[in-house]
Amino acid sequence: MKNQKIEVKGTEITITVRGEKDYISLTDIARHRDAERSDYILQNWLRNRSTIEFIGLWEQLHNPNFNSIEFDGFKNLAGSNSFSLTPKRWIESTNAVGIISKTGRYGGTFAHKDIAFEFASWISPEFKLYLIIEFQRLKDEENSRLQLEWNLQRTLAKINYRIHTDAIKENLIPAELSKSQISNVYATEADLLNVALFGKTAKQWRDENPHSDGNIRDFATTRATGYFVEYGKY
């Protein structure tokens, strides 16, 4: 997925995705304070004991491979005049995943949104508030776009479902079959598609999800729906 950008009080902030989680550029946030000394500002934030405790706790909650021994060492040194810490050293020493470094044209230091909001608060409470507002606006626009795509896919799916059932009627159903037998033919053909894509029949899905409204197709991803739309087999 391409990087996305939002503008917060005149500063362009880059957002990237890693493992379906949003990571916000700490480098860009630091540039709001001082565009020429963003690395220094970030390191100054990392050397605070409260920062170490926060990002360490975040890792303990979200990262089973976090090196707590190294974390304890940093925590004991944090705040002293001689202590300094870079994002690279923190990542390599503790196996951290909440902060990442990217190289290249769109490189820099990024952090999970929880950590990025904490850093923004250290920069400026006002800036943090505007960052949250713009970030949420971006997420709302994404959700609206996905919902629109989903509704379109469902509409196309209904059209293609009719094409599919007409094809079954014309080519697979002998005239002498009863209504019950005809229903079985439709169900069998539909479940061939369900098993091919989802690995289970409609009945198996209902048995596994007794409290869900709708059917297996209603809970399909847009990619799955698009597959059926493309081949006229929904």
The structure's pTM equals 0.62
On the question of pLDDT at 207 being above 90, the answer is no
pLDDT tens-digit series, residues 129-170 = 999 999 999 888 887 766 655 555 555 555 555 555 555 455
Q: Give the N- to C-terminal CA distance of the chain in Å, as an integer.
A: 28
Return the higher-pLDDT residue of 172 and 42.
42
Q: Alpha carbon of 102 to those of 24, 33, 65, 70, 134: distances in Å?
A: 12, 21, 21, 23, 23
On the question of pLDDT at 229 being above 70, the answer is no
Is the separation of the CB atoms in 27 and 108 below 8 Å? Answer: yes
Q: How confident is the model at residue 214 (pLDDT cuts 50, 70, 90)?
A: low
The three-point CA angle 69-40-89 to 5° equals 25
